[in-house]
Amino acid sequence: MYKKYFATAFAFALLITAVFSPAEAETTADPADTSDTAQQERLPLRELRLFTQVFEQIRRGYVEEVQDTELLENAIAGLLLELDPHSVYLNEADYDDLQESATGEYGGLGLEVGSERGMIKVISPIDDSPAAKAGIEAGDLIVEVDGAPVRGMAVQKAIDKLRGEKGTSIHLTVLREGEDGPIELDITRDIIQLSSVRSRLLEPGYGYVRISQFQVTSGKDFRQALISLKEDGPLKGVIVDLRNNPGGLVPASVEIADAVLDSGTIVYTEGRLPSSNTRFEATNGDLLQGTPMVVLINGGSASASEIVAGALQDQQRAAIMGTQSFGKGSVQTVIPLGDGRAVKLTTARYFTPNGRSIQAEGIAPDIIVEPAEIRLYQKRKQIREADLEGHLEQADNKTEETQDSEEDITDDNQLYEALNVLKGFQLLGKAVSEKPPTKLE
């Protein structure tokens, strides 16, 4: 029996040797060449034999029986495990999750949910989603999914149950405040598109754009966000928030940087394969037409976030504020294996326009702002002219009107300081533009 197993394992080793023959190496060796270089181009047979011995020992002696396919899959994962933290083997589930994260698409109902009292609470239905069309409202409690109670179910498990292929139906039992009894709903799943870009005005003229990750549509969504902000009135400044953005797709980061640049290099990559050596250049057309910008980063800003921050910093297009970024300066290529599985392999390093490799270094902000708590100083009310009895009224007899149109962002000191910097840019710009030209004799 042992000879049979050993023969099988050794055949596997010979198969590996045949698949990875020297003919497939980048430099083909002369069969008659016995130099060290030629030897290094061949796979080490000694280690392959060692592998087959370990494989057989596990197969025969491990306390529980392990399928050969599982052992081989673990071996493949081990090939990438020691390379770097970002090169990994992706099984079918992992590959599906990666594709969903990159595209922002999934089959489901379009619900943001949480947990409350052991039940699934609807935080918000997405506009025009199957859930919204079926009448699900924020605050609803989902108590049963297809007749199975969800009490005590983990949120992630509940999300998995709610998701499914487009066109499939699901039956929900919902409790709603003010209703006498449970509500029964049959909903057909559809493709849900999530956007990683959110925008709003902090104050009139000052826009805020939050990018949570870089997906396929992030570049288009970013451009649309800027256009929408401009429709609300002339922009004096824009804050782009990349804090805790772990990265994503390099093309999306290039699109976002290109949207606010007129020319110049955005990023370039260098690797061993010719396809890994790429340079991305900005095209003409700054959507903001030079409007001052601040980019917020922190230790959670990585990879594609650092591409954007590094490009805008080197091009002197934006002030970078916050704290040191993560320092992931490597590019991963996803290589499908044709059977629902894939390999994510580090294939290049990327460099900012000025040639900086930020691998394990990160982007240093132009203005360091550590997270802190803002507390207003409580002091005694000071007496002013308007408080004095018999004070003169304003010459135009106008009373001062206050307008509460500003968002309170004092709970986020980094955002608060970024807005102050933008206001400083605006004041400085006015001062420079209003200064009379110097007369030369």
**Continuous segment of H or E residues that includes residue 15:** helix 2-19
Catalytic member of 303, 305, 325, 330:
303
343 C-beta neighbours (distance < 10 Å), count: 19
Torsion of CA 229, 230, 234, 236, to 10 degrees: 50
Instruction: Tell me if residue 196 is catalytic.
Output: no
Instruction: Tell me if residue 330 is catalytic.
Output: no
The sign of the CA dihedral 319, 194, 123, 135 is positive
Helix and strand totals (H; E) in the chain: 11, 19
For the record, the structure tokens of 314 come out as 């080197």
Helix 2-19 to helix 45-61 angle (10° resolution) is 140
Catalytic member of 190, 196, 199, 328:
328
Q: 362 with 114: CB under 8 angstroms?
A: no
For 14, residues 6+ apart whose C-beta sits below 8 A from its C-beta are none
For the record, the structure tokens of 132 come out as 């919204």
Catalytic member of 190, 221, 241, 314:
314
| CA distance from start to end of the chain | 103
Place of tokens 């989902």: 142
Instruction: Tell me if residue 314 is catalytic.
Output: yes
For the record, the structure tokens of 441 come out as 């004799």
Burial of 16 from C-beta contacts in 10 A (0-12 / 13-18 / 19+): middle
**DSSP letters along 63-114, please?**
SS---HHHHHHHHHHHHHHTT-TT-EEE-HHHHHHHHHHHH-EEEE--EEEE
What three-state secondary structure class fits 235?
A: coil
For the record, the structure tokens of 150 come out as 């969800």
Place of tokens 């934006």: 318
Q: 292 with 347: CB under 8 angstroms?
A: no
List the beta bridge partners of residue 349. 270, 330
Active-site positions read 303, 314, 328
